[in-house]
Structure 1
Amino acid sequence: MTTIRVLLCLAAMQQWHLHQLDINTAFLHGDLKEIVYMKAPLGLIVPDPTMVCKLQKSIYGLKQASRQWHEKLTTTLLKLGYVKSFSDHSLFTKCIKDNFTAILVYVDDLIVTGNNLQEIIETKSILHNTFSIKDLGNLKFFLGMEVARSNQGIVLYQRKYTLDLLEQTGLLGSKPASTPMEYNSNLHSKSGTPLNDITSYRRLLGKLLYLTHTRPDISFDVSSLSQFLDSPTNLHYKAAIRVLRYLKNTPGQGIFFPSNNTTTIQGYSDSDWAKCIDTRRSITGWCFFLGSALVSWKSKKQNTVSRSSSEAEYRALAMAACEAQWLLFLFRDLGIAHPKPVSIFCDNNSALHIAANPIFHERTKHIDVDCHVVRERVLNNTIHLLPVHTSLQLADIFTKSLSPSPFLKNLTLSIFIFLF
């Protein structure tokens, strides 16, 4: 999903063409490398009931069907001169002089973008002759996400998905909430009484998780509620309903990729120490911008318990540094230069001092690996660490529930929300 957002951001800046394709009966095109037999399907009359069918091609239901289809598509694109990205194996690029074309694959759905319309038309023609495709024209609806384009830029949002979710839960006429979660909410595994129907809670959280691809403002709340999937309670379900009431307030909110933008990457890293009441693990939050457009973010509970806020911040910084490195790899595969180090803003001075201090002592040796991860990227000019005031920390929204005023201020400062 990060690659999709990066491509849309670049397409808005470079005025690239954006087209969408769908492969008809994709899995039936896969070639089998081993001998596979199957029972005769219902309705097929065979002289002997013990006879079986030998498959000549891949079919739906085989465990290797998706792999064989991807291999067949990859082989075809490589013959057309495309290069497979090492940072994202679903991305294929082709660059000849000043002509650039990129194809992003999700099973049988393809996004084709580039600055040469003739190359895109020729690629469509060859793919149609090889696989039989459905040309959906300009990109407007992809994987449940809607795309709107104008001279000002591109908007990625899930308005229809949100309204359908509200209708399914009967909350279309509910009272909107100003924030997705109550301020300083202290939910834990024993809050409330167990639900009789846990399936409905799990189904709801699954749909909300998919919505976070275009709604970073609910990432922390949905991530927090997801940790109670094994035994949810009535209070957990009530908190999930509040997220829906917040969505009712702005169902058409999404990510905006402006046309007037730059290719400079900068990020924000933050953590909330010992946030989880059950395990006392900290929450990691980071986000990365391409110019002024948000393209990547994360809200996640850390794997281990941190003994200090500095350690928690440093673990979050290590994860952000790895994401910055991956974004640079993606830029390299897209043929985009990023000569300057990626700036990462952190509001914890202790973590910045640890990154600058090459001496490890008793207070830092237990986070030796994370120290090396960050310092190595600082020394080779991959990232550049900068301090930021807590009030300007844009990753704060990914680590804790905020009151309405700071929450709205955070959204305003980040400039990544667009109402549609």
Structure 2
Amino acid sequence: MVVPGFEDPDFLNKVYKVEKALYGLHQAPRAWYETLLTYLLDNGFQRGKIDKTLFIRRENGDIILVQMSSMGELTFFLGLQVKQKNDGIFISQYKYVAEILKKFGFTDVKTASTPMETQKPLLKDEDGEEVDVHLYRSISGSFMYLTSSRPDIMFAVCACARYQVNPKVSHLHVMKRIFRYLKGQPKLGLWYLKYSPFDLVAYTDSDYAGASLDRKSTIGGCQFLGCRLISWQCKKQTMVANSTTEAEYVAASSCYRQVL
């Protein structure tokens, strides 16, 4: 919106209310466009004869200009690629995966079938060779953002993130495996079916003293609304459990809070 030489708090407040109402409606782009178009015409604006997206209103010698355009169907949002189909919506970060593979030099590597080796848990490795802290943290941050659509790498990324203070070569090696896994599975994402029941189902689990640094247990969980995955977690418990039963109870309590 361009308002040269004009300040009308009442008018701006009305526009704010309309925009807020439109945001809350979550309507299709065409409905958004038509609703705002009706509002502008009802409030004394004249539509441009050449540029149909330009609206003009004159008041007390001042001119108010509003530029409006329909951007069409949402396809990209904050690094997330959105593909809308008749039966649902698919969300992925394929382009972002390609960007980080290129950024950190992993475009030509062998692929891996899993993001982490199951038989080689991460250890503190005090005697191991140190690596560049800034590089390690940069890779970790890139992976953390990728977990917004890739729950399959959540556990491995969170495990590597625990060693950001003093990373070693062994920790960076696990990071490289995640890159190799992404190289082989770049297009995985989340599928949200249009027609699905609204039953809320939650799953949770916990290991016992799985963290080698402090012997704390790790919680894993996910929540589904019908067939739609809406939330997932992987984090260490804040306390040291005295038994597997206690660790499971803490995990169940955490999942219950997430559901609420």
Asked whether the 8 Å contact 1:191–1:235 carries over to 2, the reply is no
**Distance (Å, rounded) in 1 between the aligned partners of 2:245 and 2:167:** 32
2:44 maps to what in 1?
A: none
Tell me whether 1:180 sits opposite 2:115 in the alignment.
yes
Superposed CA deviations along residues 36-75 of structure 1, whole A, max 9, x for unmatched, are xxxxxxxxxxxxxxxxxxxxxxxxxxxxxxxxxxxxx9x7
Q: After the TM superposition, which residues 112-131 of structure 1 pair with which residues of structure 2 at under 5 Å, given as runs?
A: 113-114=26-27, 117-119=30-32, 121-123=34-36
Tell me whether 1:199 sits opposite 2:134 in the alignment.
yes
State the Cα RMSD in Å: 3.0
Instruction: Please identify the structure whose Cα radius of gyration is greater.
Output: 2
Distance 1:155 1:202, change over 3 A: same
Measure how far apart 1:178 and its partner are.
Answer: 0.7
Tell me whether 1:290 sits opposite 2:203 in the alignment.
no
Asked whether the 8 Å contact 1:201–1:229 carries over to 2, the reply is yes
Tell me whether 1:277 sits opposite 2:212 in the alignment.
yes
Tell me whether 1:257 sits opposite 2:195 in the alignment.
no
Measure how far apart 1:259 and its partner are.
Answer: 2.4
Superposed CA deviations along residues 267-287 of structure 1, whole A, max 9, x for unmatched, are 101111111011010001110
- Aligned match for 2:179, one of 244, 251, 261: 244
**Distance (Å, rounded) in 2 between the aligned partners of 1:231 and 1:126:** 58
Asked whether the 8 Å contact 1:194–1:231 carries over to 2, the reply is no
Measure how far apart 1:319 and its partner are.
Answer: 1.4
Return 5+ residue gaps in structure 2 as ranges: 3-11, 41-53, 55-63
Distance 1:199 1:291, change over 3 A: same
Q: Secondary structure of 2:235's partner?
A: strand
Distance 1:265 1:231, change over 3 A: same
Superposed CA deviations along residues 175-201 of structure 1, whole A, max 9, x for unmatched, are 110100011332122256243421111
Q: Scaled by the length of structure 2, what TM-score is found?
A: 0.78
Q: After the TM superposition, which residues 258-337 of structure 1 pair with which residues of structure 2 at under 5 Å, given as runs?
A: 258-325=193-260
Percent identity reads 32
- Aligned match for 2:104, one of 169, 184, 194: 169
**Distance (Å, rounded) in 2 between the aligned partners of 1:215 and 1:302:** 22
Return 5+ residue gaps in structure 1 as ranges: 1-22, 25-72, 84-90, 94-100, 102-112, 326-420
Measure how far apart 1:76 and its partner are.
Answer: 6.3
**Distance (Å, rounded) in 1 between the aligned partners of 2:199 and 2:65:** 39
Distance 1:168 1:125, change over 3 A: farther
2:17 maps to what in 1?
A: 79
Partner amino acid, structure 1, of 2:200: I
Distance 1:147 1:119, change over 3 A: closer
Q: Secondary structure of 2:99's partner?
A: helix
Q: After the TM superposition, which residues 364-383 of structure 1 pair with which residues of structure 2 at under 5 Å, given as runs?
A: none
Measure how far apart 1:135 and its partner are.
Answer: 4.6
Asked whether the 8 Å contact 2:131–2:169 carries over to 1, the reply is no
Distance 1:308 1:81, change over 3 A: same
Which deviates more, 120-129 or 206-215? 120-129
1:146 maps to what in 2?
A: 81
2:47 maps to what in 1?
A: none
Partner amino acid, structure 2, of 1:283: T
**Distance (Å, rounded) in 1 between the aligned partners of 2:32 and 2:108:** 48
**Distance (Å, rounded) in 2 between the aligned partners of 1:125 and 1:196:** 60
Superposed CA deviations along residues 160-189 of structure 1, whole A, max 9, x for unmatched, are 000111111221121110100011332122
